Structure 1
Amino acid sequence: MPHQPEGVVWPEDGALERALPGQVQVPLAAYIHVPFCTVRCGYCDFNTYTTGFGEGADLETYANSVVREIELSARVLGESRWDGRPFESVFFGGGTPSLLSPGSIGLILDTLRRHFGIAADAEVTLEANPETLNEERAWQFAEVGVNRFSIGMQSGVSHVLKVLDRTHNPANVPVAVAAAQAAGCQVSVDLIYGAPGESLADWETSLRQAIALKPDHISAYSLIIEEGTKMGRGLAAGLIPPSNPDLDAEKYELADSLLGEAGYHWYEISNFSTSPKTRSTHNLAYWQDWDWWGYGPGAHSHVGGQRWWNVKHPRAYAGRLKQGVSPGFAGENLSVEDRGVEAVMLGVRTDLGVKTPSDVTPESVRHLIQEGLIEEEPAGRGHILLTLRGRLLADYVTRVLLGWE
C-alpha cells in the first residue's frame, strides 16, 4: 500500500478549524476515489486494490461508504462559511470507477445533488477502462448523470501495453470511445509515453490512433516510474532501463505537432483539447486553486487554505464512517506564502501562465527569454507564458521564478 503522508492529526468530527485570512469564496469541486481494479498496473502508485474488504469496502457496497462521507461533508461545510455552493465539477477517479455499477454511481450523484446540488453545466466525469465500457453501459452511466468519460487507452501498441501491465485489448478502445460518444458524452483519451522499449514510431502510432477516434480531449503523460511500484523495483534491480530524457522530449514535441495539426490546443503541459469548452474542469479546479472535497480512501481535500487526506485502506475508511467518525487521517494549514508558491507551480504549467512574481529579478526574466523558455511579449507585460521549449523545462522555469535556481 502506498505510504500514508504525515501531517496534523485530523479531528474525528472532521471540523474545519479556520479559514485562510482574506479567502474569497471560489468554486467547489468533488473528487470521488474508487480504489478497485481488476489488475494493478506495473507503473501504478495510486491507492488501488484488486480485492474487496467487506461491507462498505467492496464493489457492491462501496457507494454506501461514500454516501456517508458526503453526509459528513455536508454537515462540516454547513457549519462553516463554505456552505451553499453546488458542485461545478464531479470526477470519479481510481482505480477503475467504471467497475462500479451505474446504480452505485447514480446513488453517489443523487446524494451530492441532495446535499449540495450539482450545477446545471457541471462536468461529471467517469474514468473508464476500455474493457468495461460498451454502448449499453455508457448509456446507463449517462442516464444517472455522467456526461464525460476519461478512457485509459495509454498506448495503441501491444508490446508497450504489455510493459505497462495493461491488460485491455487495443481493439476495445474505439468501441469504448464510440459507445461514450453515442451516449452523447464528451470523451477524453489518456496516453502515456516513455515506457521502456517504446520507440518514437510506436508513440506516433498511438498518437495517430487516438486522433483518429476524434475525442474531445487527449492527455499525453510522461511515464514516471515511482519507487515501490513493480516497475520501480525492476528499475532498481536493473531489469528495465531508465528513461531517455532526450527521446521523451522528442515524443512530447511530436505530440504537440500532431495534436496541433489535428486541431487540439495545449492548455496545460500534458493536456490538449479541441476547444475551451472541452477542457477538463476537474483538472482546472486543481490548477486554478478551487476548493474541492475528495471522497474515498486516501483522497485529498482542499478547502479555504486547509488540506487534508483520508485513511488509505478501504476497510479503515468504511469502518470510520460506519462509526460516524471522519475518515480524515491528517492535514495541514497552508499559509499565504504556501499558496503563493503553489499558484506559481501550477499556473505556470497552463496556457494562462502566471503574473511575474514580484521578487523575480529582471535579469532572471531576460535569462528565461534568451533561453527560449518563455514568450518575450507577455514577459514585457509582466506575465510568464511558456514556449514549447519551456514546457519541456517547466520545472526549471518554476525554480527560477521561485528563486530556487
Structure 2
Amino acid sequence: MNTVLPLLPGSPASPSDLPDAAREHLPTTPFGLYVHVPFCATRCGYCDFNTYTSDELGPGANRAEYAGTAIAELRRAAEVLGPDLPTVSTVFVGGGTPTLLPAEDLAAVLAAVRELFPVDPAVEVTTEANPESVTPASLATLRAAGFTRLSLGMQSAAEHVLAVLDRRHTPGRAAQAAREAVEAGFGHVNLDLIYGTPGETDADWAASLDAVLAAPVDHVSAYALIVEEGTRLARRIARGELPLPDDDVLADRYVQADTVLRGAGFDWYEVSNWSRGEAARCRHNELYWANANWWGIGPGAHSHVGGVRWWNVKHPAAYAQRLAAGESPVADREVLGDADRALETVMLGLRLRDGLPLTALSDAGRLRAADAVARGLLDPGAHAAGRAVLTDRGRLLADAVVRDLTD
C-alpha cells in the first residue's frame, strides 16, 4: 500500500525529508526533468490539464516572470537531490503551451539546468508547442539553446474537427511548423494526433494520416479522444449537441493509423506511439514507462524519486508565492509500497513493444496471461520465451488486458 508521509512545515521534500532508501540508486538510475508551463492562449474544449488562459495571475505567476519562478524550483531540486546529483538524461517542457513564453525564457530555463545539474552530453531536450505558437526565428533560438526535439499538437488535418476541439491553428500549419523545425536544425519532430472526435469521418482521418506522412517527422503519437468530466466538450455531449465517441470507430481508427504508419516505415514502441527507428523514440516518455526518476517543475507537476512520489500545488499564484517565500511548492507526497511499485511496473511495461517478463506478474496474473494468449491478446512466442507482449489485437484492448493481469 501507499504511505502518505507528513510534510515538514514550510519545507516539504527538503533533503532531510527524502528517505535514504530513495537516494540509494539516485546517481545510477536514469533521471529526467519535466518543466510544466501552465499557460494557454485559449482552453481547448477537450482539455482538463492544469492550464490557465489569463496572462496575469499575480506576481510571479504571469508569463513574464514564470521562467524565473521555474528556475527557483530547479535550484530547490538541486539542493534536495544533492550532493551526489543524478545526471540529467532528458528534459521535457510541457504544458499548457510552453512556446507562449519567449524562446529566450525557455533557453534560460535550460541554461539553469546545465548550471545546476550534470547533464548527459547526449541529453534529449523536448518542448511541446502549438503550431501557431512557433516561428522560424523562435525555433532557431530554441535549437541554438540546445533543444533537440519538438512535439507539435496537430490533432487533425480537418478544419471542422479542429473547430470541435477548439484548436486555433489552420489545417496545414502543423506540417509547416514541422518543416520550419527541421530547417532550424531540430533532429527529431513529433506530431500529435487525436482520433474519434465527433463529426470526424473516415476520409478526415485518412487525410490527417496523409498530412503527417507528408511532413518531415520521425515520430507520431495518436490518441483516442477521451471525454473528460468537467470539460466544455463533456458539457456539449451531455446537452446532446455532439455524440459520444464510438468504441468501434475508435478501434477502426487505431488499426488504420497503425497500418498506414507501419507501411510508411514507422514502428510502434508504445501503444500510442510510433517512431522511425529507436533513435527517434521519446526517451523522456520511456523514462516514465520504465518507472525511473524524474522531478517535475511547475504548478501541479508530479515527481518520482526512488519510490517517493510528490506533487506541487496546482495554482500558479500559490506556486509562485511559496517559492518567493523560500518555501517548497509541494502539496503532498507518498511512498509507494513494493506491491504498488510492482503494479505500476506491469501497468506501464505491458504497453511497450517489448512487454515485460512474466516474473513481473503475480501467480494469478501468470495464469491469466496464459488465458490471454489463448484469446489472442498476448503473443504466444513471447509467452513461451517468458514475456508478456501484446498482439495487434491485444493493443486494441490494452487497458482491459492490464486490468485482467493485475486484478
1:3 corresponds to which residue? none
Q: Secondary structure at the match of 1:61?
A: helix
* 8 Å Cα contact 1:9/1:329 also seen in 2: no
Q: Which segment is superposed worse, 197-206 or 342-351?
A: 197-206
Cα 1:361–1:347, aligned 2, differ >3 Å: closer, same or farther? closer
Q: Secondary structure at the match of 2:64?
A: coil
The equivalent position to 1:276 in structure 2, one of 275, 278, 283, is 278
The CA deviation at 1:183 is 1.4
- Which has the larger helix fraction? 2
2:227 corresponds to which residue? 225
2:40 corresponds to which residue? 37
1:73 corresponds to which residue? 77
Q: Distance in 1 between matches of 2:70 and 2:31?
A: 18
In structure 2, give the amino acid aligned to 1:106. A
Q: Secondary structure at the match of 1:309?
A: strand
Q: Distance in 2 between matches of 1:224 and 1:321?
A: 34
Q: Distance in 2 between matches of 1:226 and 1:289?
A: 25
* 8 Å Cα contact 2:32/2:295 also seen in 1: yes
Supply the RMSD in Å over aligned alpha carbons. Answer: 1.6
* 8 Å Cα contact 1:307/1:332 also seen in 2: yes
Cα 1:155–1:327, aligned 2, differ >3 Å: closer, same or farther? same
* 8 Å Cα contact 2:366/2:405 also seen in 1: no
Q: Which segment is superposed worse, 325-334 or 350-359?
A: 350-359
1:179 corresponds to which residue? 180
Q: How does 1:6-405 map to 2 (within 5 A)?
A: 8=5, 10-11=7-8, 12-13=10-11, 14-15=13-14, 16-20=17-21, 24=25, 25-51=28-54, 52-78=56-82, 83-185=84-186, 186-356=188-358, 357-360=361-364, 363-402=367-406, 404=407
Q: Distance in 2 between matches of 1:111 and 1:342?
A: 32
In structure 2, give the amino acid aligned to 1:42. G
Q: Secondary structure at the match of 2:220?
A: strand
The CA deviation at 1:126 is 0.7
Q: Distance in 2 between matches of 1:361 and 1:148?
A: 38
The CA deviation at 1:156 is 0.3
Aligned length: 395
Q: Distance in 2 between matches of 1:401 and 1:122?
A: 35
* 8 Å Cα contact 1:55/1:62 also seen in 2: no
Q: Distance in 2 between matches of 1:148 and 1:307?
A: 27
Q: Which segment is superposed worse, 292-301 or 170-179?
A: 170-179
Q: Distance in 2 between matches of 1:189 and 1:201?
A: 19
The CA deviation at 1:19 is 4.3
Q: Which runs of 5+ in 1 are unaligned?
A: 1-5
Q: Distance in 1 between matches of 2:268 and 2:310?
A: 31
After TM superposition, the runs of 4+ consecutive aligned structure 1 residues lying more than 6 A away are none
Q: Distance in 1 between matches of 2:128 and 2:192?
A: 10
Q: Which runs of 5+ in 2 are unaligned?
A: none
Q: Secondary structure at the match of 1:55?
A: coil
* 8 Å Cα contact 1:134/1:175 also seen in 2: no
* 8 Å Cα contact 1:348/1:354 also seen in 2: yes
Q: Which segment is superposed worse, 365-374 or 12-21?
A: 12-21
The CA deviation at 1:22 is 9.9
Q: Secondary structure at the match of 2:370?
A: helix
Deviations 1:234-293 (A, max 9, x none): 223333211100010000000000000000000000000001000001110110111000
Q: Secondary structure at the match of 1:60?
A: helix
* 8 Å Cα contact 2:365/2:404 also seen in 1: no
Q: Secondary structure at the match of 1:30?
A: strand
In structure 1, give the amino acid aligned to 2:393. R
Cα 1:57–1:284, aligned 2, differ >3 Å: closer, same or farther? same
The CA deviation at 1:9 is 5.2
Q: Which segment is superposed worse, 118-127 or 169-178?
A: 169-178
Cα 1:19–1:359, aligned 2, differ >3 Å: closer, same or farther? farther
* 8 Å Cα contact 2:190/2:221 also seen in 1: yes
In structure 2, give the amino acid aligned to 1:57. A
Q: Distance in 2 between matches of 1:100 and 1:9?
A: 35
Cα 1:104–1:22, aligned 2, differ >3 Å: closer, same or farther? closer
Q: Secondary structure at the match of 1:89?
A: strand
Q: Secondary structure at the match of 2:226?
A: coil
* 8 Å Cα contact 1:56/1:63 also seen in 2: no
TM-score, normalised relative to structure 2: 0.94
In structure 1, give the amino acid aligned to 2:131. P
Q: Distance in 1 between matches of 2:146 and 2:102?
A: 13
Cα 1:303–1:361, aligned 2, differ >3 Å: closer, same or farther? closer
In structure 2, give the amino acid aligned to 1:168. H
Cα 1:176–1:289, aligned 2, differ >3 Å: closer, same or farther? same
* 8 Å Cα contact 1:28/1:87 also seen in 2: yes
Cα 1:65–1:370, aligned 2, differ >3 Å: closer, same or farther? same
